[in-house]
């Protein structure tokens, strides 16, 4: 029976002979045994020995290398199997309950604190920014950290605080001396064995220590818990001040990702260690490269492990993915995880170009202005370059060698954004470097009409020389028209008099305005996927949205990761990766205030208090392929996170391990035996468990297949600190009648009660429809629950 199942899940994966496998044993992990601290060390050692003994007695010497023993959340190991014989032997071995082939993983703020109104709301409620998040440890599974960055060192004592629970260690190594850990960075380790086994780890580039060779890790870390008010200085210009969401929280670094990406078995080892160490929150700005195939995606090794992390009381926050705007592009899908969507902020940088004829054009470029208020002569790159250079090389301004310096000096050079910029063969930083080298006054980057101006890469790079990117095709054409009309050429076409002039204004000053957040086009969209048959699940994903576009945060000057931002200490990046640490940091603030809250309670608090409308009260919009329209819960979950309300939600929807187990048992097409093998615990008898996945006590309601009627049960707990009276208001999804009982109730301090919703299909629509249930409290608490329903049939 076991081997059949094992072969089943492996069948699709056989390709090369050597591979890394993650294997679960039938015996309990430490978490389940819950031994005393003294015994834990002994048990751990014994488990490792048992794994070694098991492998030695089953497999031929030299046919495998054990990479890790997993002991805390999972009882199992990762091995590098040298041939298929090893795989078959493991598959049919007694005591092996589950095998999963390794998978590749991918890496998926000065203004942000103000944008979320955290400085006027949540921080004061926690006694000020310095202590906000104090005593809470956020574990970051990422590319490591740069320990000398001001966001982690300024005003910090060199000795880590004493924790009652947390006991992580600080591993030293190249670029990571013993002094790297301090009161902010309280632990740091790295996990690279699978990357090494795969032959992808390059010790020179990837650095065998917790040091971050990439930049991604320190960026997410500084966003979650960077020190307050660190000046963002790039190229000697102060762009403002950066701060993490929880400046008082501690950081534990688990490096398991590298400039090239990473492997699940390394990540699983990192999570096992982080939870054993005692982190409170795990922030994962990473995800698998695709939804794992098999009976149910919920049962893949990392999801299982994160379920056990949740059981251990650790909140897991994960980026939802950057696969938007296509529907069902979610990479973070399990109900026990808080999956984060990304919004673009309404901060804008723009720059202006004034021409000698009085015209003004808007562009972009984080660059200083031209000197004084004088106009400079304009010259097209081709007119000040040597004539024997290939045309493409000239117009993209990538090499100073092409220019005739005496002609180019002091002029504004017109360069063109060619196809080479799209493939990153050419970059805007190199345009700036060229201009600097040849002594020109600056550059104007125009658009190539053949490419258009949809996606310009590298506009968030900060520049040392004046420059402007005329991203609008009309402005580009107008500039060329003006230039050609004012340039006198010899009969052979050589420019002899440069009569066109211009000046560039400062492009480094942000302007704010607009209506607030918009869902970023790249942010992955629901509905959530269930299993190999691609059925959608009764789970709302994403859960919540946070700012993710153009986020200023700490960067690595020596980064090997991104050509654009080499040499800078702060960088502005985008992605659901950037949104995730905002939520992890705000979760730390909630944990600070409510030490005993479960992961589900914290998630509920963030979701029920999120903003679903923008600053004008209109709906939050979502960027789709080429248009903006009102966002649905599949774009932004419950809404934009609102920290000051999240620390005082009034009511919570709580859930525990047992509920998640029942949920798994209710997933269509997943048999009880598979669950027992993967989770180690069997399903409760049918009459003692939830019938539908939609009954999991989440702060959202999703019914992916409504046939006739469905009863949906929720249980709320009053955490508001006083008795409160609530009124229940439902805005039903189109085509669905929703009756709710009770419609009004009074709930005592710490008391819980059920709310029953009866969903009745009234009309079939061509997809999901959306509504909400709002619980309005007499003491100003507003608890909002998004509802998503797909009516399959009326009966």
Active site residues: 142, 216, 577
Residues in a beta bridge with 790: 768
For 334, list phi and psi in degrees, rounded to 5: -80, 145
Helix (H) or strand (E) run with residue 66 in it: strand 64-70
Given the structure tokens 């004012």, which residue do they identify? 486
Structure tokens at 360: 């003004």
For residues 729 and 749, which CB has a smaller minimum distance to ligand NAG in the complex? 749
Helices (H), 350-500: 391-395, 405-408, 419-422, 428-438, 473-485
What region, left, alpha or beta, does residue 586 occupy, with left being phi > 0 and alpha being psi -120 to 50 degrees?
A: alpha
Q: Please report, as ranges, the residues that interact with ligand NAG according to CB under 6 A.
A: 115-117, 202, 204-205, 350, 352, 362, 386, 388, 511, 516, 596, 611, 613, 615, 640, 642, 749-750
Min CB(511)–ligand NAG separation in Å: 4
Min CB(364)–ligand NAG separation in Å: 9
Residues in a beta bridge with 786: 772
For residues 57 and 596, which CB has a smaller minimum distance to ligand NAG in the complex? 596
Residue 578 near residue 220 (C-beta atoms within 8 A): yes
Residue 66 near residue 52 (C-beta atoms within 8 A): yes
Closest of 723, 319, 345 to residue 511, by C-alpha: 345
Min CB(515)–ligand NAG separation in Å: 9
For residues 226 and 720, which CB has a smaller minimum distance to ligand NAG in the complex? 720
Residue 102 near residue 78 (C-beta atoms within 8 A): yes
Strands (E), 237-355: 237-242, 250-255, 257-258, 261-263, 281-284, 286-288, 315-319, 338-344, 348-349, 351-355
For residues 116 and 712, which CB has a smaller minimum distance to ligand NAG in the complex? 116
Q: How many CA atoms lie within 13 A of 506 on its CB side?
A: 9
Min CB(389)–ligand NAG separation in Å: 7
| Residues 6+ away with beta carbon under 8 Å from 5 | 673, 674, 677
Residue 123 near residue 200 (C-beta atoms within 8 A): no
For residues 36 and 204, which CB has a smaller minimum distance to ligand NAG in the complex? 204
- Name all contacts of 514-517 with Cβ < 8 Å and 24+ positions apart: 514/346, 514/348, 515/346, 515/614, 515/615, 515/616, 515/618, 516/346, 516/614, 516/615, 516/620, 516/640, 517/115, 517/343, 517/344, 517/345, 517/346, 517/545, 517/547, 517/611, 517/614, 517/620, 517/640
Burial class (CB in 10 A: 0-12, 13-18, 19+), 41: exposed
For residues 379 and 636, which CB has a smaller minimum distance to ligand NAG in the complex? 636
Given the structure tokens 């040499």, which residue do they identify? 567
Min CB(472)–ligand NAG separation in Å: 9
Min CB(339)–ligand NAG separation in Å: 20
For residues 164 and 596, which CB has a smaller minimum distance to ligand NAG in the complex? 596
Min CB(11)–ligand NAG separation in Å: 33
Strands (E), 463-555: 467-469, 487-489, 495-498, 501-504, 510-511, 518-519, 544-547, 551-554
Min CB(261)–ligand NAG separation in Å: 15
For residues 323 and 516, which CB has a smaller minimum distance to ligand NAG in the complex? 516
For residues 328 and 352, which CB has a smaller minimum distance to ligand NAG in the complex? 352
Min CB(686)–ligand NAG separation in Å: 34
User: How far apart, in whole angstroms, are the C-alpha atoms of residue 66 and residue 59?
Assistant: 11
What region, left, alpha or beta, does residue 654 occupy, with left being phi > 0 and alpha being psi -120 to 50 degrees?
A: beta
């Amino acid at each position: 029976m076991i081997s059949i199942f094992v072969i089943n899940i492996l069948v699709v994966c056989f390709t090369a002979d050597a591979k890394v496998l993650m294997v679960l044993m039938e015996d309990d992990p430490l978490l389940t045994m819950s031994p005393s601290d003294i015994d834990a060390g002994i048990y751990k050692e014994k488990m490792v020995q048992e794994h070694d003994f098991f492998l030695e007695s089953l497999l031929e010497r030299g046919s495998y290398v054990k990479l890790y023993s997993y002991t805390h959340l999972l009882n199992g190991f990762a091995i590098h199997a040298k041939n298929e014989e090893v795989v078959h032997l493991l598959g049919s071995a007694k005591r092996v309950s589950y095998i999963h082939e390794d998978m590749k993983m991918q890496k998926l703020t000065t203004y942000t604190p103000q944008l979320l109104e955290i400085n006027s709301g949540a921080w004061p409620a926690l006694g000020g920014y310095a202590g906000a998040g104090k005593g809470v440890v956020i574990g970051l599974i990422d590319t490591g950290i740069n320990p000398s960055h001001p966001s982690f060192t300024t005003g910090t004592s060199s000795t880590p605080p004493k924790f009652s629970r947390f006991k992580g260690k600080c591993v030293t190594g190249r670029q990571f001396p013993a002094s790297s850990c301090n009161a902010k960075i309280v632990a740091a380790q790295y996990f690279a064995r699978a990357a090494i086994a795969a032959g992808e780890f390059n010790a020179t580039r990837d650095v065998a220590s917790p040091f971050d060779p990439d930049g991604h890790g320190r960026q997410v870390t500084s966003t979650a818990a960077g020190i307050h008010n660190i000046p963002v200085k790039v190229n000697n210009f102060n762009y403002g001040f950066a701060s993490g969401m929880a400046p008082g929280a501690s950081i534990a670094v688990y490096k398991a990702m590298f400039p090239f990406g990473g492997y699940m078995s390394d990540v699983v080892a990192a999570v096992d260690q982080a939870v054993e160490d005692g982190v409170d929150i795990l922030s994962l700005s990473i995800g698998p490269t695709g939804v794992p195939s098999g009976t149910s995606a919920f049962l893949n090794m990392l999801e299982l492990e994160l379920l056990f992390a949740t059981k251990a009381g650790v909140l897991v926050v994960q980026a939802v993915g950057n696969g938007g705007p296509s529907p069902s592009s979610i990479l973070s899908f399990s109900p026990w995880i808080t999956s984060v969507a990304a919004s673009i902020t309404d901060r804008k940088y723009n720059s202006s170009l004034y021409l000698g004829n009085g015209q003004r054009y808007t562009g972009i470029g984080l660059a200083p202005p031209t000197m004084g208020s004088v106009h400079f002569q304009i010259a097209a790159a081709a007119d000040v370059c040597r004539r024997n250079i290939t045309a493409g090389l000239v117009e993209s301004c990538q090499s100073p060698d092409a220019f005739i310096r005496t002609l180019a000096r002091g002029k504004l050079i017109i360069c063109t954004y060619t196809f080479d910029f799209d493939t990153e063969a050419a970059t805007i930083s190199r345009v700036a470097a060229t201009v600097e080298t040849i002594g020109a006054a600056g550059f104007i980057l125009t658009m190539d009409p053949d490419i258009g101006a949809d996606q310009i890469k590298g506009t968030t790079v900060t520049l040392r020389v004046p420059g402007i990117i005329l991203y609008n095709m009309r402005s580009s054409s107008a500039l060329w028209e003006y230039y050609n009309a004012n340039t006198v050429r010899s009969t052979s076409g050589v420019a002899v008099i440069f009569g066109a002039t211009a000046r560039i204004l400062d492009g480094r000053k942000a302007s704010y305005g607009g209506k607030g957040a918009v869902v970023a086009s790249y942010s992955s969209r629901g509905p959530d996927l269930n299993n190999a048959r691609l059925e959608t699940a009764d789970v709302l994903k994403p859960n919540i949205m946070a700012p993710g576009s153009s986020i200023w945060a700490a960067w690595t000057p020596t980064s090997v990761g991104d050509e654009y931002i080499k040499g800078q200490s702060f960088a502005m990046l985008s992605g659901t990766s950037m949104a995730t640490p905002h939520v992890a940091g705000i979760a730390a603030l909630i944990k600070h205030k409510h030490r005993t809250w479960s992961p589900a309670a914290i998630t509920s608090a963030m979701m029920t208090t999120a903003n679903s409308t923008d600053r004008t009260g209109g709906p939050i919009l979502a960027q789709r392929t080429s248009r903006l329209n009102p966002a649905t819960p599949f774009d932004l979950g419950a809404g934009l996170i609102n920290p000051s309300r999240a620390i005082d939600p009034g009511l919570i929807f709580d859930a525990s391990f047992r509920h998640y187990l029942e949920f798994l048992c209710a997933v269509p097409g997943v048999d009880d035996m598979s669950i027992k093998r993967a989770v180690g615990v069997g399903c409760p008898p049918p009459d003692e468990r939830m019938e539908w996945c939609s009954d999991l006590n989440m702060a959202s309601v999703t019914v992916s297949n409504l046939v006739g009627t469905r009863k949906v049960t929720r249980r709320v707990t009053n955490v508001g600190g006083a008795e409160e009276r609530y009124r229940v208001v439902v805005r039903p999804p189109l085509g669905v009648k929703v009756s709710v009982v009770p419609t009004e109730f009074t709930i005592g301090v710490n008391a819980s009660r059920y709310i029953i919703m009866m969903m009745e299909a009234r009309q079939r629509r061509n997809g999901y429809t959306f509504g909400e249930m709002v619980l309005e409290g007499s003491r100003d608490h507003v608890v909002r629950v998004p509802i998503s329903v797909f009516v399959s049939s009326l009966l």
